[in-house]
């Protein structure tokens, strides 16, 4: 171990000083590595923020991280496929689960009619108190007010639907649906609020009223379509899911957001793969510069390599020395690149306004504010890829240096 | 026991379409503590012989023994170890590591050998003092004259007391005063430390220091005189 330490000190001294023989070349390479690493981390943070936003929007539209419902409800969202409001052990577990928010809701197909037009809609009976955490709807109200209690008699519709119905805030509309016995149920509602969704398509179809009001309309007192749970982080819902699944009575179906929406699940699962591919692509561009720098550095001192071979340095130590030189270059570049990335991402974490391209982004489910998400995982990934691939890329020039014929190397001018 | 024993050593080089003979069935035995000069015109095989003895080049055929070790059959790593432990090299062009100071250049071999920092610093300072470079320990090669650089190279070659020093035209780039000083140093080290010296040279004044003079031509030993 002592011998290795002494050899390591020798190699470190040689590598460090060799690195600074040509300031300009080393400086250019450091700049390239730093910018490459910065681009890896900065763009990953933007991508991560965008995908997070898309996932959050998608989950809000489901809504919720976990849903409990009748086993047939997702395939046939009919009022017949309703479930009893939570009670007994399930209610106890819901209250003690530590979940951020839970609520019940009713969801049925309905028809809405104004004085001039009629449209098909999704009619949602909600608990207004919980909606801020579940769908974020209260924040989207652009005119009027949001629903206030579970017994509120008003109705909230989207701006697009109001336009289609040629109606407005304060006007009355008639809503028609079917009760469990297939009898027509209808009722007049006053429009108390109009919302603007981040995804305009939703404005046209989702119409909200209070849960108890809808129960009365459909004659399903004490019954709901779904129990919705929202946890702190959509990525870490497994423990809550396990707890809730065990407490759910037989005959009910408990599902996570990724079981309900396979598109969102695929997006979530592919994100890490995207990041890795992105990081590797940038590295490949960098690797040409790195190999070129090392090859030039070796080419400049062939004679010196012949000398250290003649003096008794084993070929393996020559390989280590060149690799150490490469590692030092990479570590300095990484330190600069990481610092740049943190310095540029942190100020943007409060939100980056991309409203100039909001229309196009909205089609992908992304809002007009982008919140870059700098994660330790992505930084570790970028740094690991650069170090591991950087060292692998350096092996060939290092091996070629160690394989030089000492006599020829010593006679090189 | 002989320091070096070469038996029927042959080496050829290809230069374009031409085959050049570097060594032609060379038989040579050098005893421990000898001070040998190899002389002869350019292309006579002096450097090829030194490189083969030093394990820098592999002969096409024949045997080279250093003590009990047959070095022509050693693999690269073992040859490097053998050079590290037993041989000191002095080259015509001073061949110092430019990014290291004079003292660090002298310490380099000891560092690779695994000698402690304190001991190698002490030995390096002592040997630099012995070759007349006291006060120049921290200078980089570019800050030293040719003669001073060659003295650093000599210090590096002898600091770990090798069994054998191989010097290839060590005075070729030195003026007469520096050459005389260097050869005096070699003679002194040979006498006091019983280090075996094998020196290739054209220089008649250098030959004057040798106790054994071997003449070479066309890869063959043509004369072997003890003075």
**ipTM value:** 0.89
The answer, yes or no, to whether residue A4 has pLDDT greater than 80, is no
Instruction: Write out the two tokens for A379.
Output: 């930084």
Q: Which residue of A has its CA nearest to B157?
A: A311
What does the alpha-carbon distance between residue A290 and residue A296 come to, in Å, rounded to a whole number?
10
Cα distance between residue B76 and residue B80, in whole Å: 6
Test the B interface: residue of A7, A302, A310, A328 with most B CBs within 10 Å: A310
Are B100 and A17 a contacting pair at CB < 8 A?
yes
Domain that holds residue A201: 64-260
Half-sphere exposure of A295 (CA within 13 A, CB side): 8
Q: Do B109 and A311 touch (CB under 8 A)?
A: yes
The span from the CA of B105 to the CA of B155, in Å, is 9
Looking at residue A3, its pLDDT comes to 47
The verdict on a CB contact (< 8 Å) between A6 and B57 is: no
Domain termination site, one of A239, A260, A281 = A260
- Tokens 């005389």, residue located: B180
What is the arithmetic mean of pLDDT over A110-115? 93
Q: What is the pLDDT of residues B182-200, one digit of tens each?
A: 888 889 888 888 889 999 9
Note which residues in 60-79 of chain B have CB less than 8 A from chain A.
76-77
> pLDDT tens, A56-106?
878 777 788 888 989 998 888 888 898 988 888 888 887 877 777 888 999
Interchain pair B98, A304: CB under 8 A = yes
Distances (CA, A) of B68 to A263, B28, B30, B158: 75, 16, 14, 22
Are residues A39 and A69 located together in one domain of the fold? Answer: no
Strand order in the sheet with B2-15: B18-31, B2-15, B61-66, B69-70
Rounded to the nearest angstrom, the minimum Cα separation between A281 and chain B is 36
Mean pLDDT throughout A395-410?
Answer: 88
Which pLDDT score is estimated for A361?
62
A225 and A115 within one domain: yes
- Contact flag B108-A406 (C-beta cutoff 8 Å): no
The residue among A200, A225, A260 that closes a domain is: A260
Residue A331, min C-alpha distance to chain B (Å) = 21
Residues B47-75 have pLDDT tens digits of 999 999 999 999 999 999 998 889 999 99
Judgement on whether residues A297 and A165 belong to the same structural domain of the protein: no
| Terminal CA-CA length for chain B | 21
Token output for B140: 């980089």
For residue A242, give every residue at least 6 positions away whose Cβ sits within 8 Å of its Cβ, in sequence order, or none: none
Q: Determine which of B80, B91, B168 to mutate to test the interface with A (most A C-beta atoms within 10 Å).
A: B80
Last residue of a domain, one of A208, A230, A260: A260
Amino acid A363: pLDDT: 60
Handedness of CA B219, B222, B226, B227 (dihedral sign): negative
pLDDT at A272: 79
Tell if the CB–CB gap between A311 and B57 is shorter than 8 Å: no
- For A219: left if phi > 0, alpha if psi spans -120 to 50, otherwise beta; the answer is left
- Tell whether A178 and A197 lie within a shared domain: yes
In a shared domain, residues A295 and A349: yes
B207 contacts chain A (CB < 8 A): no
Whether the per-residue pLDDT at A1 is higher than 60: the answer is no
Distance, CA of A390 to CA of A93 (rounded, Å): 52
A231 and A279 housed in the same domain: no
B-chain CB neighbours of A328 within 8 Å are none
Nearest CA in chain A to B77: A314
A312 contact residues in B (CB cutoff 8 A): 80-85, 87, 109, 112-113
What is the distance in angstroms between the Cα of B178 and the nearest Cα belonging to chain A? 23
Q: Which residues of A touch B99 (CB under 8 A)?
A: 14, 17-18, 21
Domain range B2-95+162-226, CATH architecture = 3-Layer(aba) Sandwich (3.40)
pLDDT in tens, A27-36: 988 998 899 8
Nearest to B210, CA basis, from B49, B90, B46, B37: B37
Please tell me whether residues A227 and A145 are part of one structural domain: yes
Q: For residue A13, what pLDDT band results from cuts at 50, 70 and 90? A: confident
Taking the Cβ of residue B116 and every Cβ of chain A, the question of whether any pair is shorter than 8 Å is answered with: yes
A363 and A275 together in one domain: yes
Residues of A in contact with B85 (CB under 8 A): 312
Q: Which among B57, B112, B117 is the nearest to A312, CB-wise?
A: B112
Tell me which chain B residues have a C-beta less than 8 angstroms from the C-beta of A410: 56, 91, 95
- Residue A406, chain B, CB below 8 Å: the answer is yes
Provide the domain count of chain A: 2
Residues A77 and A50 both lie in one domain: no
The answer to whether A392 faces chain B, any CB pair under 8 Å, is no
* Cβ neighbour number for residue A202 with a 10 Å cutoff: 21
Inform me whether the C-beta atom of residue B81 falls under 8 Å from chain A C-beta atoms: yes
b/e code B4-30 from CB counts within 10 Å (16+ = b)? bbbbebbbbeeeeeeeebbbbebebeb
A236 and A274 co-located in one domain: no
> Does the distance separating the beta carbons of B115 and A309 come in below 8 Å?
no
Identity of the residue in A2, A10, A17 whose CB atom sits nearest the CB atom of B111 = A10
> CB contact, 8 Å: B94 with chain A?
no
* Partner A contacted by B89 (CB < 8 A): yes
Instruction: Show the 3-state SS of chain A.
Output: CHHHHHHHHHHHHHHHHHHCCCHHHHHHHHHHHHHHHHHHHHHHHHHHHHHHHHHHHHHHHCCCCEEEECCCCCCCCCCCCCEECCCHHHHHHHHHCCCCEEEEEEEEEEEEECCCCEEEEEEEEECHHHHHHHCCHHHHEEEECCCCCCCCCCEEEEHHHHHHHCCCCCCEEEEEEECCCCCEEEEEEEEEEEECCCCHHHHHHEEEEEHHHHHHHHCCCCEECEEEEECCCCCCCHHHHHHHHHHCCCCCEEEEHHHHCHHHHHHHHHHHHHHHHHHHHHHHHHHHHHHHHHHHHHHHCHHHHHHHHHCCCCHHHHHHHHHHHHHHHHHHHHHHHHHHHHHHHHHHCCCEECHHHHHHHHHCCCCCEECCCCCHHHHHHHHHHHHHHHHHHHHHHHHHHHCCCHHHHHCCC
- Whole-number mean pLDDT of chain A? 86
How is chain B split into domains, by residue range?
A: 2-95+162-226
């Amino acid at each position: 171990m002592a011998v290795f330490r002494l050899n390591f000190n020798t190699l470190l001294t040689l590598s460090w000083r060799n690195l600074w023989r040509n300031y300009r070349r080393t400086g250019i390479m450091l700049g390239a590595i730093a910018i490459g690493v910065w681009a890896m981390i900065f763009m990953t943070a933007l991508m991560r923020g965008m995908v997070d936003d898309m996932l959050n929007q998608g989950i809000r539209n489901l809504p919720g991280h976990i849903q409990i419902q009748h086993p047939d409800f997702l395939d046939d969202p009919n009022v017949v496929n309703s479930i009893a409001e939570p009670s007994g052990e399930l209610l106890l577990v819901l209250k003690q689960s530590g979940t951020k928010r839970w609520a019940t809701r009713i969801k049925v197909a309905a028809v809405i009619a104004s004085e001039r037009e009629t449209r098909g809609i999704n009619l949602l009976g909600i608990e207004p108190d919980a909606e801020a955490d579940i769908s974020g709807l209260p924040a989207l109200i652009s005119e009027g007010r949001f629903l206030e209690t579970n017994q509120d008699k008003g109705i909230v519709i989207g701006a697009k639907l109001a336009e289609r119905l040629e109606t407005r805030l304060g006007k009355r509309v008639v809503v028609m649906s079917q009760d469990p016995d297939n009898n027509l149920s209808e009722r007049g509602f006053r429009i108390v609020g109009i919302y603007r969704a981040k995804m305009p398509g939703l404005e046209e179809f989702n119409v909200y009223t209070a849960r108890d009001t809808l129960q009365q309309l459909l004659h399903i007192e004490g019954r709901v379509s779904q129990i919705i749970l929202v946890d702190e982080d959509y990525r870490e819902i497994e423990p809550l899911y396990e707890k809730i699944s065990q407490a759910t009575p037989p005959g009910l179906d408990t599902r996570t957001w990724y079981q309900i929406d396979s598109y969102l699940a695929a997006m979530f699962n592919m994100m890490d793969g995207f990041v890795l591919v992105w990081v590797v692509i940038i590295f490949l561009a960098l690797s040409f510069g790195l190999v070129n720098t090392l090859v030039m550095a070796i080419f400049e001192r062939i004679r010196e390599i012949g000398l250290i071979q003649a003096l008794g340095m084993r070929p393996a130590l020559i390989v280590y020395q060149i690799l150490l030189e490469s590692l030092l270059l990479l570590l300095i570049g990484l330190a600069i690149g990481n610092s740049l990335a943190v310095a540029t991402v942190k100020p943007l974490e409060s939100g980056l306004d991309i409203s100039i391209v909001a229309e196009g982004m909205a089609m992908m489910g992304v809002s007009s504010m982008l919140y870059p998400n700098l994660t330790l995982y992505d930084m570790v990934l970028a740094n690991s890829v650069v170090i591991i691939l950087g060292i692998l890329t350096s092996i060939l020039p290092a091996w070629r240096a160690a394989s030089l014929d000492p006599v020829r190397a010593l006679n090189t001018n | 026991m002989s320091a070096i024993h070469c038996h029927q050593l042959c080496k050829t080089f290809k230069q374009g379409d031409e085959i050049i003979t570097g060594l032609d069935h060379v038989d040579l035995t050098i005893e421990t503590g000898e001070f040998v000069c190899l002389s002869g015109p350019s292309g006579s095989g002096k450097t090829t012989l030194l490189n083969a003895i030093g394990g820098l080049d592999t002969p096409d055929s024949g045997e080279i023994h250093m003590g009990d070790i047959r070095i022509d059959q050693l693999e690269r790593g073992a040859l490097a170890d053998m050079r590290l432990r037993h041989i000191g090299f002095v080259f015509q062009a001073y061949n110092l590591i430019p990014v290291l100071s004079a003292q660090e250049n002298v310490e380099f071999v000891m560092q690779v050998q695994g000698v402690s920092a304190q001991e190698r610093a002490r030995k390096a300072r002592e040997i630099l003092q012995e070759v007349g470079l006291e006060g120049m320990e921290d200078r980089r090669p570019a800050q030293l004259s040719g003669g001073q650089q060659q003295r650093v190279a000599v210090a590096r070659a002898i600091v770990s007391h090798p069994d054998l020093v191989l010097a290839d035209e060590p005075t070729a780039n030195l003026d007469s005063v520096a050459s005389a000083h260097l050869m005096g140093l070699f003679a002194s080290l040979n006498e006091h430390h019983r280090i075996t010296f094998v020196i290739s040279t054209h220089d008649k004044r250098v030959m004057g220091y040798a106790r054994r003079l071997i003449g070479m031509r066309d890869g063959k030993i043509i004369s072997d005189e003890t003075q």
